[in-house]
Amino acid sequence: MATATETATVWRGPGVYSADELSLEQYHADIVPGGSLSSSGARALLDPGCPAQFDYDRRQPQLPKKEFEIGTAVHSVLLGSGADLVVVDAEMWNTKAIKAEVADIRADGHIPLKPSDMQQVADMVAAVRAHPVAGPLFTPGSGTPEQSLYWIDPDTGVTCRVRPDWLKHLPDLTLCVDYKTAVKADPEAVSKAIAERGYHQQDAFYIDGIQQVLGLPARFLFVFQSKTAPYLITVRELSDADRAIGRAKNQRALRIYAECTKTGIWPDWTGPTDSIPYISLPTWAATREAEEYLK
- What is the band of 63 on the pLDDT scale with cuts at 50, 70, 90? low
Identify the pLDDT of residue 104.
Answer: 83
Average pLDDT, the chain: 91
9 pLDDT exceeds 70?
A: no
Identify the pLDDT of residue 77.
Answer: 92
Is CATH 3.90.320.10 what the domain over 4-263 is classified as, yes or no? yes
Alpha-carbon gap, residue 191 to 184, rounded angstroms: 11
Q: Is 180:196 a contact under the CB 8 Å cutoff?
A: no
Q: Is 227:271 a contact under the CB 8 Å cutoff?
A: no
